[in-house]
């Protein structure tokens, strides 16, 4: 993937991450008893965060001090 594609993918993952955060907050505020669904959303959110970190590492070159 080139830099432009990586930045596009990062933006997409970031948007999905924010949407999941809002969905989790909404479920918690609605006093939902569906703990399994909340746990799945949190797991997906962590996966997205890991993917975003991988892409960010690929975009930022290593600097030798």
Q: Are 17 and 52 in contact (CB under 8 A)?
A: yes
23 C-beta neighbours (distance < 10 Å), count: 15
Q: What is the pTM of this model?
A: 0.84
Decide if 17 is inside a domain. no
Decide if 18 is inside a domain. no
Domain extent at residue 37:
33-60
Decide if 38 is inside a domain. yes
Decide if 26 is inside a domain. no
Decide if 6 is inside a domain. no
Question: Binning pLDDT at 50, 70 and 90, where does residue 12 land?
Answer: very high
pLDDT tens readout for residues 24-34 = 999 999 987 78
Q: If you average pLDDT over every residue of the chain, what do you get?
A: 92
Q: pLDDT at position 65, please?
A: 61
The structural domain count of the chain equals 1
Q: pLDDT at position 10, please?
A: 97
Q: pLDDT at position 46, please?
A: 98
């Amino acid at each position: 993937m080139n830099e432009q594609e990586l930045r596009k993918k990062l933006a997409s993952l970031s948007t999905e991450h924010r949407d999941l955060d809002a969905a989790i907050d909404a479920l918690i505020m609605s006093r939902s008893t569906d703990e399994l669904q909340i746990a799945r959303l949190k797991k997906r959110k962590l996966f997205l965060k890991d993917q975003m970190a991988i892409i960010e590492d690929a975009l930022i070159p290593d600097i030798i001090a």
